[in-house]
Protein backbone atom coordinates (compact mmCIF):
# COMPACT_ATOMS: atom_id res chain seq x y z
CA UNK A 1 0.00 0.00 0.00
CA UNK A 2 1.09 3.57 -0.61
CA UNK A 3 2.68 5.14 2.45
CA UNK A 4 0.44 8.20 2.03
CA UNK A 5 -3.25 7.53 1.33
CA UNK A 6 -4.88 8.90 -1.80
CA UNK A 7 -7.44 11.68 -1.54
CA UNK A 8 -10.66 10.53 -3.27
CA UNK A 9 -11.25 12.46 -6.46
CA UNK A 10 -14.58 13.79 -5.14
CA UNK A 11 -12.69 15.27 -2.16
CA UNK A 12 -10.17 17.17 -4.31
CA UNK A 13 -9.94 20.93 -3.97
CA UNK A 14 -12.53 22.31 -6.42
CA UNK A 15 -9.94 23.82 -8.78
CA UNK A 16 -7.82 20.67 -8.75
CA UNK A 17 -10.92 18.59 -9.44
CA UNK A 18 -11.65 20.84 -12.41
CA UNK A 19 -8.11 20.39 -13.73
CA UNK A 20 -8.53 16.61 -13.83
CA UNK A 21 -12.17 16.55 -14.94
CA UNK A 22 -13.26 15.70 -18.44
CA UNK A 23 -10.32 13.39 -19.11
CA UNK A 24 -10.08 9.66 -19.59
CA UNK A 25 -7.42 9.27 -16.92
CA UNK A 26 -7.88 6.19 -14.76
CA UNK A 27 -7.51 6.11 -10.98
CA UNK A 28 -4.11 4.48 -11.55
CA UNK A 29 -2.95 7.41 -13.67
CA UNK A 30 -4.25 9.89 -11.11
CA UNK A 31 -2.61 8.09 -8.17
CA UNK A 32 0.31 10.56 -7.76
CA UNK A 33 -2.08 13.52 -8.10
CA UNK A 34 -4.39 11.95 -5.51
CA UNK A 35 -1.50 11.89 -3.03
CA UNK A 36 -0.36 15.43 -3.87
CA UNK A 37 -3.98 16.49 -3.36
CA UNK A 38 -3.34 16.59 0.38
CA UNK A 39 -1.61 19.91 -0.48
CA UNK A 40 -3.86 21.27 -3.25
CA UNK A 41 -1.97 24.43 -4.18
CA UNK A 42 1.27 22.52 -4.71
CA UNK A 43 -0.61 19.76 -6.57
CA UNK A 44 -2.04 22.35 -8.97
CA UNK A 45 1.33 24.06 -9.40
CA UNK A 46 2.94 20.71 -10.21
CA UNK A 47 0.33 19.98 -12.90
CA UNK A 48 0.79 23.42 -14.43
CA UNK A 49 4.56 23.14 -14.41
CA UNK A 50 4.35 19.81 -16.21
CA UNK A 51 1.90 21.30 -18.70
CA UNK A 52 4.26 24.21 -19.40
CA UNK A 53 7.12 21.77 -19.97
CA UNK A 54 5.02 20.06 -22.64
CA UNK A 55 3.42 23.11 -24.23
CA UNK A 56 6.75 24.85 -24.78
CA UNK A 57 8.91 21.80 -25.44
CA UNK A 58 11.63 21.86 -28.07
CA UNK A 59 12.87 18.34 -27.32
CA UNK A 60 11.04 15.44 -29.00
CA UNK A 61 8.65 13.30 -26.95
CA UNK A 62 10.61 10.15 -27.79
CA UNK A 63 13.84 11.54 -26.35
CA UNK A 64 12.19 12.81 -23.18
CA UNK A 65 10.48 9.48 -22.57
CA UNK A 66 13.77 7.61 -22.92
CA UNK A 67 15.40 10.06 -20.51
CA UNK A 68 12.52 9.64 -18.04
CA UNK A 69 12.69 5.84 -18.12
CA UNK A 70 16.49 5.73 -17.78
CA UNK A 71 16.28 7.99 -14.71
CA UNK A 72 13.40 5.92 -13.33
CA UNK A 73 15.67 2.88 -13.43
CA UNK A 74 18.33 4.59 -11.32
CA UNK A 75 15.67 5.97 -8.98
CA UNK A 76 14.02 2.54 -8.77
CA UNK A 77 10.69 4.31 -8.99
CA UNK A 78 8.35 1.48 -9.86
CA UNK A 79 5.37 3.62 -10.74
CA UNK A 80 7.61 5.63 -13.12
CA UNK A 81 9.08 2.51 -14.72
CA UNK A 82 5.68 0.91 -15.27
CA UNK A 83 4.31 3.87 -17.20
CA UNK A 84 4.55 4.82 -20.88
CA UNK A 85 3.18 8.15 -22.08
CA UNK A 86 0.92 7.88 -25.10
CA UNK A 87 2.53 10.80 -26.95
CA UNK A 88 5.91 9.08 -26.66
CA UNK A 89 4.47 5.78 -27.88
CA UNK A 90 2.98 7.68 -30.82
CA UNK A 91 6.45 9.17 -31.42
CA UNK A 92 8.04 5.73 -31.72
CA UNK A 93 8.84 4.56 -28.19
CA UNK A 94 8.33 0.82 -28.55
CA UNK A 95 9.14 -1.84 -26.00
CA UNK A 96 12.14 -3.07 -28.05
CA UNK A 97 13.42 0.52 -27.99
CA UNK A 98 12.92 0.70 -24.21
CA UNK A 99 15.00 -2.50 -23.94
CA UNK A 100 17.95 -0.63 -25.45
CA UNK A 101 18.05 1.47 -22.26
CA UNK A 102 19.81 -1.44 -20.57
CA UNK A 103 22.96 -0.44 -22.53
CA UNK A 104 22.06 2.78 -24.33
CA UNK A 105 25.56 3.72 -25.48
CA UNK A 106 25.75 0.44 -27.43
CA UNK A 107 22.26 0.71 -28.95
CA UNK A 108 22.02 0.87 -32.73
CA UNK A 109 18.44 2.19 -32.58
CA UNK A 110 19.31 5.36 -30.64
CA UNK A 111 20.54 8.54 -32.30
CA UNK A 112 23.75 10.22 -31.18
CA UNK A 113 21.67 13.08 -29.75
CA UNK A 114 19.61 10.60 -27.72
CA UNK A 115 22.75 8.89 -26.46
CA UNK A 116 24.32 12.10 -25.19
CA UNK A 117 21.01 13.15 -23.61
CA UNK A 118 20.82 9.80 -21.86
CA UNK A 119 24.43 10.08 -20.69
CA UNK A 120 23.65 13.50 -19.27
CA UNK A 121 20.51 12.18 -17.54
CA UNK A 122 22.39 9.22 -16.09
CA UNK A 123 25.06 11.46 -14.61
CA UNK A 124 22.47 13.81 -13.16
CA UNK A 125 20.80 10.82 -11.50
CA UNK A 126 23.96 9.13 -10.24
CA UNK A 127 26.90 11.56 -10.08
CA UNK A 128 25.79 15.08 -10.93
CA UNK A 129 29.19 16.70 -10.31
CA UNK A 130 30.58 14.56 -13.12
CA UNK A 131 28.62 16.73 -15.56
CA UNK A 132 31.63 18.68 -16.77
CA UNK A 133 32.73 20.95 -19.61
CA UNK A 134 33.36 17.97 -21.85
CA UNK A 135 29.81 16.69 -21.52
CA UNK A 136 28.41 20.17 -22.11
CA UNK A 137 30.55 20.38 -25.25
CA UNK A 138 28.98 17.11 -26.42
CA UNK A 139 25.51 18.46 -25.69
CA UNK A 140 26.34 21.59 -27.71
CA UNK A 141 26.97 19.44 -30.78
CA UNK A 142 23.29 18.45 -30.81
CA UNK A 143 21.31 21.04 -28.81
CA UNK A 144 21.08 24.80 -28.52
CA UNK A 145 21.00 26.52 -25.12
CA UNK A 146 17.21 26.43 -24.91
CA UNK A 147 17.16 22.68 -25.48
CA UNK A 148 19.93 22.08 -22.93
CA UNK A 149 18.00 24.08 -20.33
CA UNK A 150 14.85 22.08 -21.09
CA UNK A 151 16.75 18.80 -20.90
CA UNK A 152 18.28 19.75 -17.57
CA UNK A 153 15.03 20.93 -16.02
CA UNK A 154 13.11 17.90 -17.29
CA UNK A 155 15.77 15.49 -16.05
CA UNK A 156 15.94 17.27 -12.69
CA UNK A 157 12.17 16.97 -12.34
CA UNK A 158 12.41 13.25 -13.09
CA UNK A 159 15.27 12.71 -10.63
CA UNK A 160 13.73 14.61 -7.72
CA UNK A 161 10.07 13.77 -8.06
CA UNK A 162 10.85 10.22 -9.16
CA UNK A 163 12.83 9.62 -5.99
CA UNK A 164 9.98 11.07 -3.97
CA UNK A 165 7.46 8.86 -5.76
CA UNK A 166 9.63 5.81 -5.04
CA UNK A 167 9.45 6.55 -1.31
CA UNK A 168 5.67 6.81 -1.48
CA UNK A 169 5.56 3.15 -2.72
CA UNK A 170 2.60 3.63 -5.05
CA UNK A 171 2.68 0.06 -6.33
CA UNK A 172 -0.60 -1.61 -5.35
CA UNK A 173 -2.30 -0.76 -8.65
CA UNK A 174 0.70 -1.57 -10.88
CA UNK A 175 1.29 -4.75 -12.90
CA UNK A 176 2.40 -7.63 -10.67
CA UNK A 177 6.11 -7.58 -11.43
CA UNK A 178 6.34 -4.03 -10.13
CA UNK A 179 4.70 -5.00 -6.85
CA UNK A 180 7.09 -7.80 -5.90
CA UNK A 181 9.63 -6.60 -3.32
CA UNK A 182 12.29 -9.32 -3.16
CA UNK A 183 15.29 -6.99 -3.01
CA UNK A 184 16.05 -7.31 -6.72
CA UNK A 185 16.36 -4.24 -8.94
CA UNK A 186 13.36 -3.71 -11.17
CA UNK A 187 13.76 -2.50 -14.75
CA UNK A 188 11.51 -0.49 -17.06
CA UNK A 189 12.26 -2.97 -19.84
CA UNK A 190 10.22 -6.14 -19.71
CA UNK A 191 6.54 -7.13 -19.85
CA UNK A 192 3.47 -5.40 -18.49
CA UNK A 193 4.13 -1.72 -19.12
CA UNK A 194 1.01 0.41 -19.30
CA UNK A 195 0.26 3.51 -21.31
CA UNK A 196 -1.18 6.71 -19.91
CA UNK A 197 -3.14 9.33 -21.80
CA UNK A 198 -1.87 12.68 -23.00
CA UNK A 199 -2.21 15.60 -22.69
CA UNK A 200 -2.50 16.12 -18.97
CA UNK A 201 -5.65 18.02 -18.01
CA UNK A 202 -3.75 21.15 -16.94
CA UNK A 203 -2.49 21.52 -20.51
CA UNK A 204 -5.95 22.43 -21.78
Model confidence over 142-178: pLDDT tens digits? Answer: 999 999 999 999 999 999 999 999 999 999 999 999 9
The mean pLDDT of the chain is 93
Q: What domains lie within the chain, and their CATH numbers? A: 59-203 (1.20.1290.10)
**Contact present, 82 and 75 (Cβ < 8 Å):** no
What are the CA-CA distances from residue 55 to residues 10, 113, 120, 202 (Å)?
A: 28, 22, 23, 10
Residue 196, SS3 per DSSP: strand
pLDDT confidence of residue 204: 39
CA dihedral 85, 90, 92, 95 (to 10 degrees): 50
Model confidence over 59-112: pLDDT tens digits? Answer: 999 999 999 999 999 999 999 999 999 999 999 999 999 999 999 999 999 999
**Contact present, 67 and 177 (Cβ < 8 Å):** no
**Contact present, 42 and 36 (Cβ < 8 Å):** yes
Model confidence over 15-68: pLDDT tens digits? Answer: 999 988 866 677 888 999 999 999 999 999 999 999 899 999 999 999 999 999
Neighbours of 87 (CB within 10 A): 18
Amino acid sequence: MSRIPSVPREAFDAELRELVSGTDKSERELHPTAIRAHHPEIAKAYLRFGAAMRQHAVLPARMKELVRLRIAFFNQCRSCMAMRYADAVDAGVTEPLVCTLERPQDAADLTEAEKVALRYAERLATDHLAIDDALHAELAQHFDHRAVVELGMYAAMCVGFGRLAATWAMVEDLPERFQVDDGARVTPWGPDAWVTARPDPAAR
